């Protein structure tokens, strides 16, 4: 991808399509759960381009659009280059930290018609100013922005989004969570999962062993009595402290599954909203190869 310093000079239609294709594939891979893909951020970062934060303009792109004026042919075309360059600078910034920011990408898709409309206004003005060569170059820039959107849309596949539907396994996991056994269903490779499982199952074993004379608790050494007593107390009260202290952190087990499912629902909804926004915007333009 060309760097920001050379965007206005080096952009060609093929580069524009490549950028759209790469961003679209990155989004698709993240949506579909590819662990090696670029991660997706659903909430804006501290540098979110969609927020004004008390400023007059969202960003330099918004500034160039808002302040656009028909002037001399050269000055008017320079403004076109600035709009084009700043738009793709934002595309780059939306993934510059290694995370694709969906808020910023949605902003870019939403703002694309503003860019096109302003540049079309510039194109018409350049023809009126008897500068057909600059008008043609402006038309090329318009096509590049449109083709970016079309390629982005065509490359963004959300057909295989992870399911968030009802799973019978979750019902069993919920019931087992009262005994600390839910984590071995979702995270069997973690030692802590087996610790809670053993603790949850151990109380009836201890009671049975004691009641059937498997060991003489009263004659055990004090330290062993203390260990068994603490372990038994922890097992007896596990439904309370495990359910009220450990599980609310939602870092594992059934409640961790619930938290991940909630996040996935939000993730899927944002994916569908972004895709629908792309399709809607693509339909505004007649570009060769544009398919929804």
- 204 and 130 in a common domain: no
Question: 158 with 276: CB under 8 angstroms?
Answer: no
pLDDT at 124 over 80: yes
Give the whole-angstrom CA distance, residue 48 versus residue 104.
Answer: 7
Same domain for 153 and 225, yes or no, is: no
- Are 80 and 122 in a shared domain? yes
Per the structure, the complete domain to which residue 46 belongs is given by: 4-157
Residues 144 and 183 in one domain: no
- Cβ-based neighbour number of residue 89 at 10 Å: 20
Give the domain-ending residue among 106, 134, 157. 157
Domain assignment present for 264: no
d(CA 52, CA 60): 11
Instruction: Classify residue 277: in a domain, yes or no.
Output: no
Residue 76 has pLDDT above 70, yes or no: yes
Contact call for residues 31 and 163 (beta carbons, < 8 A)? no
Q: Is residue 191 domain-resident?
A: yes
Rounded to whole angstroms, how far apart are CA atoms 93 and 4?
Answer: 9
| Residues 59 and 125 reside in one and the same domain | yes
- The DSSP symbol for 43 reads S
Q: How confident is the model at residue 35 (pLDDT cuts 50, 70, 90)?
A: very low
Cα(279)–Cα(150) distance, integer angstroms: 9
Q: Is residue 291 part of a domain?
A: no
Same domain, 8 and 151: yes
Kindly report the average pLDDT of the chain as a whole number. 78
pLDDT over 90 (residue 227): no
* Segment 142-180, tens digit of pLDDT: 998 998 888 888 888 888 777 888 888 888 888 888 888
194 token code pair = 């087996």
Q: How confident is the model at residue 201 (pLDDT cuts 50, 70, 90)?
A: confident
Q: How many domains does the chain have?
A: 2
Q: What one-character DSSP code corresponds to residue 5?
A: G
Same domain assignment for residues 49 and 102: yes
Question: Do 44 and 144 share a domain, yes or no?
Answer: yes
Structural domain ending residue among the three candidates 103, 126, 157:
157
> Which of 51-65, 141-155, 230-244, 267-281 is predicted least confidently?
51-65
| 250: in domain | yes
Confirm whether 272 is domain-assigned.
no
The secondary structure of residue 67, as a DSSP letter, is: T
Say whether both 248 and 191 belong to one domain: yes
Q: What is the pLDDT of residue 66?
A: 93
Residue 255: what pLDDT? 85
Examine the domain organization and report whether 223 and 118 are in the same domain.
Answer: no
**Ranges of H-type helices in the chain:** 7-10, 13-31, 60-66, 73-93, 102-128, 132-155, 168-176, 183-186, 191-211, 222-236, 238-241, 253-282
Q: Mean pLDDT: which of 66-75, 87-96, 205-214 is highest?
A: 66-75
C-alpha closest to that of 143 among 84, 73, 56, 69: 84
> Residue 51 domain-assigned?
yes
**Cα 243–Cα 244–Cα 249 angle in degrees, nearest 5:** 90
Look-up of token digits 């979702």: 186
Secondary structure element (H or E) that encloses residue 100, with its range: strand 100-101
The reply to whether 11 and 150 lie within a common domain is yes
| 190/152 same-domain check | no
What CA–CA distances, in Å, run from 190 to 132, 153, 164, 203? 68, 40, 24, 22
Residue 40's DSSP bridge partners are 100
Does any domain span residue 77? Answer: yes
């Amino acid at each position: 991808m060309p760097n920001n310093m050379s965007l206005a000079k080096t952009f060609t239609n093929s580069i524009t399509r490549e950028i759209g294709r790469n961003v679209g594939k990155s989004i698709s891979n993240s949506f579909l759960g590819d662990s090696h893909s670029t991660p997706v951020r659903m909430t804006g970062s501290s540098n979110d381009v969609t927020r004004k934060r008390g400023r007059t303009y969202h960003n330099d792109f918004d500034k160039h659009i808002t302040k656009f004026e028909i002037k001399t042919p050269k000055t008017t075309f320079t403004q076109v280059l600035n709009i084009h360059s700043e738009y793709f600078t934002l595309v780059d910034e939306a993934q510059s930290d290694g995370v694709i920011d969906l808020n910023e990408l949605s902003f870019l898709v939403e703002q694309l018609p503003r860019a096109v409309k302003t540049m079309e206004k510039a194109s018409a003005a350049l023809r009126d100013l008897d500068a057909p060569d600059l008008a043609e170059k402006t038309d090329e820039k318009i096509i590049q922005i449109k083709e970016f959107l079309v390629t982005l849309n065509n490359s963004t596949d959300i057909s295989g989004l992870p399911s968030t539907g009802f799973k019978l396994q979750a019902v069993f996991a919920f019931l087992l969570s009262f005994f600390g056994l839910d984590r071995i269903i979702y995270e069997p490779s973690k030692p802590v999962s087996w610790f809670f499982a053993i603790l949850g199952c151990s109380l009836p074993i201890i009671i049975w062993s004691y009641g059937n004379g498997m060991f003489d608790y009263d004659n055990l050494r004090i330290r062993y009595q203390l260990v068994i007593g603490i372990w038994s107390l922890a097992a007896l009260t596990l439904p309370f402290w495990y359910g009220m202290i450990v599980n609310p952190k939602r870092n594992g087990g059934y409640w961790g599954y619930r938290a991940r499912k909630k996040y996935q629902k939000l993730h899927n909804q944002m994916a569908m909203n972004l895709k629908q926004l792309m399709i809607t915007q693509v339909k505004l333009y007649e570009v060769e190869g544009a398919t929804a």
